[in-house]
Chain A
Amino acid sequence: MSKGDPLLEVTDLVKHFPIKSGVIIDREVARVRAVDGVSLTLHEGETLGLVGESGCGKSTLCRAILQLTQPSSGSVKFLGEELVGRSHRDLRPLRRQMQMIFQDPFASLNPRKRVGQIIGDPLQLHGLSSGAELKRRVQELLDRVGLSPEHYNRYPHEFSGGQRQRIGIARALALHPKFIVADEPVSALDVSVQAQIINLLKELQDEFGLSYLFVAHDLGVVRHVSDRVAVMYLGKVVENSDTEDLFRKPIHPYTNALLSAVPIPDPKRNAARERLVLQGDVPSPIDPPPGCSFHTRCPWATEVCTTDEPALLEHAAAHVAACHHPRNVEHAAV
């Protein structure tokens, strides 16, 4: 479901962190394959959900896309311009268009700055506004995210978690970005507050035509906000599809297992459904299993899965998955 032209094109993005050891000369002894060849496309006005368990590389991918960490290789094209390899100075005008909302509303706001400064600084740094105009602009933003303009002179500690997340959202909105990366924006919040923030993010998207890359481990949240969803496992995208298709007909066994593991808050339906409980834990990204990296936990794994890495193939319309034994498809390709 495309709502326009591609805004962001990520191709074969890789981020490896070397593990060094040695007394005088550091020698690379291993590498953490945090992001290991990821390709994604995000259209204007669209929300792409990114799910996966802790350590699968979701957050590193976000940082690599925004050039907050230098990718090891691959390409990130934003508004048709290549971001990888650009200098900080060159990136600056583009940074205005790409903002981020962080998970922890406590750690992501400077405790020694007033709310007015936190939200106003980006405007000042980019020379967009100053003086009385700046204050008016910040107060408008506060009002827009559901805070009161009188909060201008308060400090972050005077706010609750949900309110702080609103401050973070106002800061991200200040520069009128086109693209916002929201890295687990609601996972630190209580359910009733989560709903408030999700509703706000959706309103803002409609109002400003924003595109979101929305990272979460909570599948319910991702399903609610996303147009498309990409599922990550050990640094790779294993499935990518339209949201409805992904949740109705998950192809990759890992996606099936994830969906099956989420408890449904309805006792009768919960008892009625068949469950697929995975054994074991996620392997280490330092030494991922050969072949398909999911084969160690996959109930359908065979010989071929231990040797050949499956390619991302289109199994249904606009629905790709990397698996030798896809589920929910009529003609299983082997």
Chain B
Amino acid sequence: MTEAILKVDDLKVSFATEDGVVQAVGGVSFELRAGEVLAIVGESGSGKSVTAQTITGLTRASNARITGSVTYRDRELNGLEDDQLRDVRGEQIAMVFQDPMSSLNPVYRVGDQITEMIRAHRDVSKHEAADRAVELLRSVGIPNPERRVRHYPHEFSGGMRQRVMIAMALALEPDVLIADEPTTALDVTVQAQILRLLDDLNRERDLAIILITHDLGVVAEIADRVLVMYAGQIVENATLDETFYDPQHPYTWGLLGSLMRLDQTRGARLAQIPGQPPSLLAPPQGCRFAPRCSHRFDKCDEPPPLEARVGGDHLDRCWLDPEEKKTRRAQVIS
């Protein structure tokens, strides 16, 4: 097994708001290995984006409280000065966001934006940087890159803009790419193109990817390992196959059961998860999923730890006995 290049340990992020303190991330720990594609799945408000943004220091704000540790190759990132963090951000860990239009500056040519980014980090001439920009656009599959560097963001389609964002993220040859819902705003046929590109980058450059998504189909397509998040916590951490074929947490079952899939008989009523996620102003004291869980029992009043209950490194946060789970799970997912 390859070494972990990024370690997150007991990360907690809370924001002071008018209504009270929102505990967006409540103690998240995981490791990312070199060349791995790690998917973080969860619904809106589960804390998946805040976790990812905190890794690169993007959630630092006067109303934010961040505790715990984020280490990149044994270097602690949490608490690092902004200018030191800048050496890591972009150089070693790059990010791509959901909405490529609002992540690009609309009044600058695409090539100039890439060139500027390269020159902010590397001591190269304008000319060299511009050549590199063309090269980058070519490498992410943009046709006619020599001409396209002179275009403005609005002249690109959604899929092409996302390619530009990926090109820019790759400019400094990072080993980790954090992609926050990179295909959510795109149509399926374009989504397939972008996923293929990410998959190629992962294989060819050994680029480790943290992919944040709410779409389990996207996860099945490219992930190696999956973290399922609910109400600011990881409820399950398992390999891709374990997540789909041996899921341990009732929330994961609910997610899998409520999918409308193309490869199954239709017409049957969907297994829905009743209710809605809890408010993070005052999350439930015990298991955070308990109020919506149809399998809860007395023990669920105590918060379950995230630990290996079925052996190996398959972690989950549920008190139920693993044997008992097998029979109950069969009622939700086939």
Q: Which of B240, B241, B272 contacts A192 (CB 8 A)?
A: B272
Q: Does chain A have a CB within 8 A of B105? A: no
Q: In this complex, which of B215, B240, B260, B276 has the most chain A Cβ atoms within 10 angstroms of its Cβ?
A: B260
Contact across chains for A263 and B270 when beta carbons are under 8 A apart = no
Q: Does chain B have a CB within 8 A of A278? A: yes
Within 8 A of B (CB), among A199-225: 199, 202, 217-221, 223-224
**Interface residues of B, CB < 8 Å — how many?**
44
Contact across chains for A217 and B273 when beta carbons are under 8 A apart = no
The interface-forming segment of B54-62, B119-127, B129-137, B186-194 is B186-194
Q: Does chain A have a CB within 8 A of B269? A: yes
Contact across chains for B244 and A265 when beta carbons are under 8 A apart = yes
Determine the chain A residues whose CB is within 8 A of the CB of B272 once the complex forms.
192, 195-196, 199
Contact across chains for B255 and A191 when beta carbons are under 8 A apart = yes
On whether A261 and B188 interact (CB within 8 A), knowing A198-B270, A199-B269, A281-B157, the answer reads yes
**Interface residues of A, CB < 8 Å — how many?**
44
B46 and chain A: residue at smallest CB distance = A190
Contact across chains for A220 and B262 when beta carbons are under 8 A apart = yes
B257 and chain A: residue at smallest CB distance = A195
Determine the chain A residues whose CB is within 8 A of the CB of B47 once the complex forms.
none
A273 and chain B: residue at smallest CB distance = B263
Within 8 A of B (CB), among A219-261: 219-221, 223-224, 243, 247, 257-261
Q: Which of B157, B216, B270 contacts A195 (CB 8 A)?
A: B270
Produce 1/0 per residue, B268-293, CB < 8 A to A.
01111110100000000000000000
Contact across chains for A160 and B262 when beta carbons are under 8 A apart = no
Determine the chain A residues whose CB is within 8 A of the CB of B260 once the complex forms.
194-195, 198, 218, 220-221, 223-224
On whether A263 and B221 interact (CB within 8 A), knowing A53-B189, A190-B44, A217-B187, the answer reads yes
Contact across chains for B188 and A224 when beta carbons are under 8 A apart = no
Expressed in whole angstroms, the Cα–Cα distance for A257 and B189 within the complex equals: 7
Within 8 A of A (CB), among B216-263: 216-221, 240-241, 244, 254-263
Q: Does chain B have a CB within 8 A of A162? A: yes
> How many A-B residue pairs lie within 8 Å, measured between CB atoms?
121
Q: Does chain B have a CB within 8 A of A193? A: yes
Determine the chain B residues whose CB is within 8 A of the CB of A275 once the complex forms.
192
Expressed in whole angstroms, the Cα–Cα distance for A182 and B254 within the complex equals: 25
Contact across chains for B259 and A265 when beta carbons are under 8 A apart = yes
Q: Which of B193, B244, B267, B271 contacts A277 (CB 8 A)?
A: B193
Determine the chain A residues whose CB is within 8 A of the CB of B191 once the complex forms.
261, 263
Q: Which of A261, A262, A265 contacts B256 (CB 8 A)?
A: A265
Q: Does chain B have a CB within 8 A of A331? A: no
Contact across chains for A224 and B215 when beta carbons are under 8 A apart = no
Contact across chains for B192 and A191 when beta carbons are under 8 A apart = no
Expressed in whole angstroms, the Cα–Cα distance for A76 and B114 within the complex equals: 51
Produce 1/0 per residue, B21-44, CB < 8 A to A.
000000000000000000000011
Q: Does chain B have a CB within 8 A of A269? A: yes
Chosen A-B contacts, 11 in total, with CB atoms closer than 8 Å, are A53-B189, A194-B258, A195-B270, A196-B272, A247-B262, A264-B220, A264-B261, A265-B219, A277-B192, A281-B159, A281-B160
Name B's A-contacting residues (CB within 8 A). 43-44, 157, 159-160, 187-193, 195-196, 214-221, 240-241, 244, 254-263, 266-267, 269-274, 276
Give 17 A-B pairs besides A192-B43, A193-B276 with Cβ atoms closer than 8 angstroms.
A53-B187, A53-B188, A191-B216, A193-B43, A195-B257, A196-B272, A217-B187, A221-B260, A224-B260, A260-B192, A261-B189, A262-B217, A263-B192, A265-B217, A265-B219, A267-B220, A270-B221
